[in-house]
């Protein structure tokens, strides 16, 4: 099994990536320095790819300092709501903390258009090169919170292609993986790695 260090503080993302990569012969481990997730600066105003690149660069510097040689995975995602011009987008993590799922539902209370999408950008640093993969999952914001699985916005997001009105929060990990932006982004990185014979 090849080690893949995933730089993330989000346990839900770590669990999904581990589930995805295990059958491919990668052991995903959380990227920790002295037992802690290192402080990473995320350039918030830029797109997901810029955020992923900045994280990879900081992770590389940390590994170099520690004298560790391993593949690195980072992944950035967000929820982009059509009628809110893509809000919360790259601010998804802090907006969730500030206004919660109920705040998002309130913002949409008078809106007919409940279209939204999750976007993810994954980046893997291996053998001196960065490889990117992107994934989008279209769907609708539900009328209320449903289900307790997953994390973040899962209880209010119904993916296109799923049973009508079923949120990610009502799906198990394998069901979510059939639709998820994260699985698509990781899949596209994997295809690139396979093509390079890695």
Footprint of ligand ITT (CB under 6 A): 8-10, 13, 76-79, 92-93, 96, 118, 150-154, 168, 180, 182
Residue nearest to ligand ITT (CB): 152
CB distance 121 to 76 below 8 Å: yes
Minimum CB distance to ligand ITT, residue 33 (Å): 14
Of residues 76, 82, 144, 194, which has the active-site annotation? 76
- CA-wise closest residue to 79 among 93, 59, 65: 93
Minimum CB distance to ligand ITT, residue 79 (Å): 6
| Residue 194 among the catalytic residues | no
Nearer to ligand ITT, 13 or 184 (CB): 13
Tokens of 32: 């920790």
CB distance 155 to 169 below 8 Å: yes
Nearer to ligand ITT, 61 or 194 (CB): 61
CB distance 185 to 121 below 8 Å: yes
Q: What are the b/e assignments for 10-21, b being 16+ CB within 10 Å?
A: beebbebbbbbb
Minimum CB distance to ligand ITT, residue 188 (Å): 16
Residues serving a catalytic function are 76
């Amino acid at each position: 099994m090849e080690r893949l260090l995933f730089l993330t503080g989000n346990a839900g993302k770590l669990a999904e990536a581990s589930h995805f990569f295990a059958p491919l012969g990668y052991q995903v481990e959380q990227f920790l320095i002295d037992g802690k997730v290192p402080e990473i600066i995320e350039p918030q105003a830029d797109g997901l790819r810029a955020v992923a690149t900045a994280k990879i660069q900081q992770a590389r510097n940390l590994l170099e300092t520690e004298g560790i040689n391993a593949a690195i995975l980072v992944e950035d995602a967000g929820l982009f709501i059509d009628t809110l011009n893509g809000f919360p987008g790259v601010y998804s993590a802090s907006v969730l903390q500030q206004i919660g799922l109920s705040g998002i539902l309130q913002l949409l209370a008078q809106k007919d258009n409940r279209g939204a999408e999750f976007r993810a950008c994954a980046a893997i640093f291996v053998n001196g090169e960065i490889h990117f993969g992107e994934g989008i999952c279209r769907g609708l914001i539900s009328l209320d919170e449903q289900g307790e699985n997953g994390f973040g916005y899962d209880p209010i997001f119904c993916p296109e292609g799923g049973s009508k009105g079923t949120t990610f929060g009502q799906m198990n990990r394998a069901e979510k993986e059939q639709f998820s932006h994260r699985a698509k982004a990781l899949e596209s990185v994997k295809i690139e790695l396979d093509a390079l014979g890695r």
